[in-house]
Amino acid sequence: MPLDVDKLSLRFLRDVEPTVYASFESGRTSLDEFLKEDAHAYDQHGLTTTVLAFHDDHECPVAYFSLSTDSVKLSGVELTDLGLPFSTPIKFFPAVKLTKLAVLHRLQNDGLGSYLIDLICGLVSDTPFAVRLITVDAINHDDVIGFYAKVGFIESLNHSPARVGMASRETLLMYKDLYQ
Amino acid sequence: MKPAAFKATPQLSTAESQALLKVIGGVTLTPSRRASLKASAMKASVAFSRPLKMNAA
């Protein structure tokens, strides 16, 4: 049964005691280790901000995500290729990188990750600075790529011949246009 | 030493840049998308202000 999202609460990791998320298990070692060993230090030093999601029916957090500012710099394109209705030498789009997203193992494939992406889109668009894209270095597994594609992310080389040979990469750059 | 937990996005190649612009070039924020993002921001704000049932803080 899908989680009742009306029972979700969000908190910044810095406001939560480490013992509260010590038992979090997503099933992906790198994500679990980051939360328990590194997220606090990364947050303290301004590298990435981590947010924990809680649910009234669960003792430990049900998910977490981490965000950092980013920028998508273009190359090899004409200045007018940005499709802007004015001429400008801008060759980048301001972005936010989703550096981590993990859902409690037993709650996966139940829509919580999609719901959190929706909240993240709202969070990053409701700031006093411009953000056009959300980027993610998605783990190069079919289920992960499939999840991000389902919530509107596009592989950076999805329709390009250069996509061939990417199967060996550990992660794939994907982006989501907040305007679409 | 541990590897970095994440990396900033490197400059896109020409192929990647062209693929990106094919998708987002010329797109503007429509009133309906603006409203949708606003609604999502509101949901996030509510979730941040909800009291925790457990003793997390």
Tell me, what CATH number does A73's domain have? 3.40.630.30
**Nearest C-alpha in A relative to B27:** A179
CB spacing of A121 vs B50 below 8 angstroms: no
User: In this predicted model, what pLDDT tens digit does every residue of A22-68 receive, in sequence order?
Assistant: 999 999 999 999 999 999 999 999 999 999 999 999 989 999 999 99
**Nearest C-alpha in B relative to A139:** B6
With 70 as the cut, is the pLDDT of residue A160 above it? no
Q: For the CA atoms of A144, A38, B10, A134, what is the dihedral angle to 10 degrees?
A: 50
Contacts of A48 in chain B (CB under 8 A): 5-6
Cα gap B27→A164, rounded to integer Å: 28
A79 — pLDDT class (breaks 50, 70, 90): low
CB A72 within 8 A of CB A135: yes
Contacts of B32 in chain A (CB under 8 A): none
What is the pTM (predicted TM-score) of this model?
A: 0.92
User: In this predicted model, what pLDDT tens digit does every residue of B6-46 receive, in sequence order?
Assistant: 989 999 988 888 888 888 888 899 999 999 999 999 999 99
CB spacing of B24 vs A68 below 8 angstroms: no
Q: Which of the residues B17, B27, B55 would you substitute to probe the A interface, choosing the one with the greatest number of A C-beta atoms within 10 Å?
A: B17
Question: A157 to chain B, minimum CA–CA distance in Å?
Answer: 6
Q: Determine the straight-line distance between the first and last CA of chain B, rounded to whole angstroms.
A: 32
Residue type, A71: S
How many domains does chain A divide into? 1
What backbone torsions phi and psi does residue A26 show, to the nearest 5 degrees?
Answer: -95, -15
Residue type, A57: D
Q: Which of the residues A56, A67, A100, A156 would you substitute to probe the B interface, choosing the one with the greatest number of B C-beta atoms within 10 Å?
A: A156
CB spacing of A81 vs B21 below 8 angstroms: yes
The domain in which residue A117 lies consists of 5-177
**Nearest C-alpha in B relative to A58:** B54
**Whole-number pLDDT of residue B43:** 98
Q: Which of the residues A133, A157, A176 would you substitute to probe the B interface, choosing the one with the greatest number of B C-beta atoms within 10 Å?
A: A157
Any chain A CB within 8 A of the CB of B35?
no
User: In this predicted model, what pLDDT tens digit does every residue of A97-115 receive, in sequence order?
Assistant: 999 999 999 999 999 999 9
Q: Higher model confidence: residue A78 or residue A14?
A: A14
